[in-house]
Chain A
Amino acid sequence: MSRRATWHLLVPGIIVGAITAVALVVPLLPLPDPIRMDIPARLLPPSVGHLLGQDEYGRDVLSRILWGARTSLVVAFVAAAAAAIVGTCLGLFGGYFRGLVELLTVRTAEAILCFPPLLLALLVVTLLGPGAGTLITVLAFLYAPGFARISFAETLMVRALDYVTAQEALGARPERIVIRTILPNVAPALLVQFSLTVASAIVLESGLSFLGLGVVPPAPSWGLMIRGARSTMEQAPWLLLWPCLALTGTVIALNMLCDRLRDVLDPRAQGRQSSWLARGAARILPSVAGSTQKPSLLRVEGLTIEITTPSGARFRPVRDIALTVAPGETLAMVGESGSGKTLTALALLGLLPPAARIIGGTALFTGRDGRVRDLNLLAEPELRQLRGDEIAMVFQDPGNSLNPVHRIYHQLAETIRAHRPANRSAVAVQAIGLLREVGLPDAERRAYAFPHELSGGQLQRVMIAMAIANGPRLLIADEPTTALDVTIQAQILDLLAALKVRSQGMGLIFVTHNLAVVAEIAQRVCVMYAGQIVEEGPVSEVFARPRHPYTAALIASVPEGGSGRLVAIPGTVPLPGALARGCCFAPRCPRSGPECTADLPVLERISSGRATRCIKWRELA
């Protein structure tokens, strides 16, 4: 838990703790009797013996506030605790055993939730009359279903996780599984619910007391105090102030505590404004000495990305990337997790998440009109014109890349119309044509389906159709087949190859972690490790004669071709914040020596079209 989160939690926690402490020690404090009336002294302003004045019956206001805290908190805590115990048990067992148990416990609880709480409370009060005891029972009964519902939903979710199945596989008894494994993992949500319930119970109790149907006078309760102060609002408006403040303040503190608890236990990004929503100006970046080679489709040099974490720390997951794509060429970017390949691909199109930004490097792109522009320097509106038109991207999970509430046709038509104004029928013809071109069976009918009605392979075809709709010069595919079955992957790879042939000189950047796929479809490859390119060159050469120990180790660890032990690379990929000096692969490299850790090796061109970042590359020959 970060320091900021702890601090955030501490502030409301202390306030709530203080209120609770006051409520507990109230009998021990030297306070005037809260019930003792003193009619002649009614409505007197603050004085020495009565710090907050006296109410309409002459009773000490401060004393009644503090005692009222006790009443409200006791009622609320006891009711919430009772509700929590009963509700949690119901939900846990209903969620684990399902079937009849679920019906009897959780479904009944949900039915009770049909009643607006206050009304149910009033119904019972009609019968039993007001009073703290009745109140606690009613409140417990009212809030138990809420706990049952939450613990049921959480139990269902946790139960499906592998570690619960593992306990079953180990032979643990069901009771043991429920109590030892499921309950601790459900507890955080219940804790949040508990604090919510206490807050709600305090409000409900005060409301009932305000109506005269809760705690019975002369017992002190904030709700009763507000009721009394209301009747003397004309003469003594300040009497209203104290109980209102006390009640509101307590509820605010409890709600804040609940919010902070939620943040700690279920941390979601607090949200940062994305760059495309803010109106940013064009960026000025430090220029990198360009090479004198002729412009290719895409030439990237020195690309570096920096990420700022919520706690303010900064690190660079991608450093000094250099790559080129010629027209009609397929370049594969291969690397394991943490290599930065996806971030690099996103950076080219300016689609980095809000916390990341490009801090250096050039990305020269040759457009259809022959103009060469640096993608890193373009402002958002200009980049947007390129996206989907001259540079297109296909993502990994096709199911998530489409909007589930709109039909396929509309999303495809939207893409076409975003770049070229066209009339309806022309768009329709083009759209169906595209879907046929990517091999979607029964294209006319399928076009009007929703995304969830298509399979993964079909969805990826649709994504590819959208990407090539405007005849892009460069297509970036980020692990497009990783989520697909092998036979479907073969179909999609075939499709991509065919589309490339049909287009005039479209370049393809294919990001993947699978070396075999690289061998199948790419002409050139660049290997990435821990945010840097460690080797680059034609695929057949790099795989046959790797010039970097990491590439060699990667090839040797692929379980293809025969038996024997696989060569495993010891250790793990270093975290971006904890990189060693010098070569980042050195700690795991079988050939590393002191010269490797002295300085960061540069990407050295060792022949035309090949580069490596290993200073010992000759030893690998």
Chain B
Amino acid sequence: MSAPLVRAEKLSRSFRLRQGLFAGKAEMMAVCDVDLAIDRGEAIGVVGESGCGKTTLGRMLLRLLAPTSGRVMFDGQNLDDLGRLDLRRLRRRMQMIFQDPFASLDPRRPVGRQIADGILIHNLADRSDIVDRVAELLKLVGLDPSHASRLPHEFSGGQRQRIAIARALATRPDFVVADEPVSSLDVSVQAQVLNLLADLRAEFGLALLFISHDLHVVRHICERVVVMYLGCIVEEGKAADVFRGPAHPYTRALIAATPSIRPQARRNKIVLSGELPSAIKRPSGCVFRTRCAYATTTCSETVPTLSRFGEGRTVACLRAAEIAANK
């Protein structure tokens, strides 16, 4: 097996927050000790609810945010070792698609120019060829090339998201991080954009990190899935396996809580009690124990690590095997 394209090792990120005059600065762990490997052409989904750190993780992989500890390797190169110029050059190969189609495009420039930005910055084509390249990209995402001179506000949300995809693909990247790319779109438009992403992935062999809170979307488009809670990875494995038989109590609760359009898909509901604990006062031991139906005293003493749970699966739960046996 070849080396993974992107590898994160013990990646952590914390933010310092002011707590009050005498309490001093508090530390909020957004991402806690994450290990992740993404192979060439692989699509990995990162799911979790608010505060789980998935967006922060995505930005750290692209070095748009520096980790507080740990490292990110892209194609064997440690991003820490790269100087500013080299890092900028490397960005050609890794791109990002953002959630809000209305905020991700500069409202004052024609979309054609924005798509061409990456090509120009990295000198990937002559000035005379740029227009053709942009037209090609617009056709690729299903838009009319003659609209390249229009401004973003003349397009709908779904179309703007396609333009954002075209911009990301302009530099022929190997790796794309999509941060909730369809969450702001209507269901019918979402389908269009998801189909587009799947097609483009197949055509260009892109590696994709798909961040979303919507389990169904992730299951549809990703081969592997990573479940995060309060900055930690709690479960990882093949999407089909994880959804069919979730091992971690949080994953089980998440799947049970996700509404389904098909009545037979509704099993006994697990309604998770309580709320997300404060990111500043993280629970000791397993971060999920405050809401877990299976928590014991050991769970508050030991921090569970990701351990093997079957073919290509890992779970961070001390009682995973027990729970699976008793199901």
Direct contact, A vs B (beta carbon within 8 Å): yes
Q: Which A positions have Cβ atoms within 8 angstroms of B? A: 161-163, 165-173, 176, 181, 184-185, 336-337, 441, 455, 457-458, 485-491, 493-494, 513-520, 540, 543, 553-555, 557-561, 563, 565-570, 572-573
Closest residue of B by beta carbon distance from A493 = B259
Q: Is the CB of A167 within 8 A of B192?
A: no
Q: Is the CB of B100 within 8 A of A162?
A: yes
When chains A and B are docked, how far (Å) is the Cα of A493 from the Cα of B272? 12
Q: State how many angstroms separate the Cβ of A551 from the closest Cβ of chain B.
A: 11
B194 within 8 Å of A (CB atoms): yes
Sample 16 A-B pairs with CB under 8 A, ordered by A number.
Answer: A163-B106, A166-B98, A170-B117, A173-B88, A336-B187, A485-B213, A488-B49, A490-B271, A491-B271, A514-B259, A519-B262, A557-B191, A559-B194, A559-B216, A566-B195, A568-B188
- Chain B residues lying within 8 Å of A172, measured Cβ to Cβ, are 88, 117, 121
Q: Is the CB of A572 within 8 A of B158?
A: yes
When chains A and B are docked, how far (Å) is the Cα of A527 from the Cα of B205? 39
Q: State how many angstroms separate the Cβ of A279 from the closest Cβ of chain B.
A: 39
Tell me the B71-101 residues at the A interface (CB within 8 Å). Answer: 88-92, 94-96, 98-100
A185-B108, A568-B188 known, 4 other contacts, Cβ within 8 Å: A169-B64, A489-B257, A517-B259, A572-B189
Q: Is the CB of A336 within 8 A of B186?
A: yes
Q: Is the CB of B266 within 8 A of A557?
A: no
Q: Is the CB of A516 within 8 A of B275?
A: no
Interface residues in B, total, Cβ within 8 A: 69
Neighbour of B261 across the interface among A163, A170, A519, CB < 8 A:
A519
Q: Is the CB of B50 within 8 A of A485?
A: yes
Neighbour of B216 across the interface among A336, A517, A560, A567, CB < 8 A:
A560
Q: Which residue, B187, B213, B217, B257, has most C-beta atoms of chain A within 10 A? A: B187
Chain A interface mostly: helix
Given contacts A162-B103, A170-B171, A519-B263, contact A557 B272 (CB under 8 A): no
Q: Is the CB of A490 within 8 A of B257?
A: yes
Q: State how many angstroms separate the Cβ of A574 from the closest Cβ of chain B.
A: 11
B68 within 8 Å of A (CB atoms): no
Q: Is the CB of A490 within 8 A of B261?
A: no
- Chain B residues lying within 8 Å of A458, measured Cβ to Cβ, are 275
Closest residue of B by beta carbon distance from A454 = B275
Closest residue of A by beta carbon distance from B266 = A520
Contact with A along B177-215 (1 / 0, CB 8 A): 000000000111111101100100000000000000101
- Chain A residues lying within 8 Å of B149, measured Cβ to Cβ, are none
When chains A and B are docked, how far (Å) is the Cα of A513 from the Cα of B187? 8
How many inter-chain residue pairs (CB < 8 Å) link A and B? 169
Q: Is the CB of B64 within 8 A of A170?
A: no
Q: Is the CB of A487 within 8 A of B49?
A: yes
Q: Is the CB of A563 within 8 A of B254?
A: no
- Chain A residues lying within 8 Å of B114, measured Cβ to Cβ, are 163
Q: Is the CB of B105 within 8 A of A572?
A: no
Neighbour of A171 across the interface among B122, B159, B274, CB < 8 A:
B122
When chains A and B are docked, how far (Å) is the Cα of A166 from the Cα of B99? 12
Tell me the B108-132 residues at the A interface (CB within 8 Å). Answer: 108-109, 114, 117-118, 121-122
Q: Is the CB of B121 within 8 A of A171?
A: yes
Q: Which B positions have Cβ atoms within 8 angstroms of A? A: 49-50, 62, 64, 88-92, 94-96, 98-100, 103-109, 114, 117-118, 121-122, 156, 158-159, 164, 167, 171, 186-192, 194-195, 198, 213, 215-217, 219-221, 253-254, 256-263, 265-266, 269, 271-276
- Chain B residues lying within 8 Å of A170, measured Cβ to Cβ, are 91, 95, 117-118, 121, 167, 171
When chains A and B are docked, how far (Å) is the Cα of A337 from the Cα of B158? 12
When chains A and B are docked, how far (Å) is the Cα of A600 from the Cα of B96? 44
Q: Is the CB of B272 within 8 A of A171?
A: no
When chains A and B are docked, how far (Å) is the Cα of A557 from the Cα of B121? 38
Q: Is the CB of A557 within 8 A of B190?
A: yes
Closest residue of A by beta carbon distance from B89 = A171
When chains A and B are docked, how far (Å) is the Cα of A169 from the Cα of B96? 7
- Chain A residues lying within 8 Å of B64, measured Cβ to Cβ, are 165, 168-169
Q: State how many angstroms separate the Cβ of A537 from the closest Cβ of chain B.
A: 15
9 smallest CB-CB distances across A and B, nearest first, come from A171-B91, A490-B257, A516-B259, A557-B191, A485-B49, A336-B186, A559-B220, A566-B191, A568-B191
When chains A and B are docked, how far (Å) is the Cα of A557 from the Cα of B114? 30
Given contacts A168-B64, A171-B122, A559-B194, contact A566 B100 (CB under 8 A): no
Q: State how many angstroms separate the Cβ of B163 from the closest Cβ of chain A.
A: 11
Given contacts A490-B271, A515-B187, A563-B220, contact A171 B156 (CB under 8 A): no
Q: State how many angstroms separate the Cβ of A461 from the closest Cβ of chain B.
A: 11
- Chain A residues lying within 8 Å of B217, measured Cβ to Cβ, are 559
Closest residue of A by beta carbon distance from B255 = A486
Q: State how many angstroms separate the Cβ of B78 from the closest Cβ of chain A.
A: 18
When chains A and B are docked, how far (Å) is the Cα of A549 from the Cα of B226? 36
Q: Which residue, A167, A455, A490, has most C-beta atoms of chain B within 10 A? A: A490
- Chain B residues lying within 8 Å of A563, measured Cβ to Cβ, are 220
Closest residue of B by beta carbon distance from A455 = B275
Given contacts A557-B190, A565-B195, contact A163 B103 (CB under 8 A): yes
When chains A and B are docked, how far (Å) is the Cα of A384 from the Cα of B29? 48
Q: Is the CB of A569 within 8 A of B188?
A: yes
Given contacts A488-B275, A572-B189, contact A520 B259 (CB under 8 A): yes
Closest residue of A by beta carbon distance from B96 = A169
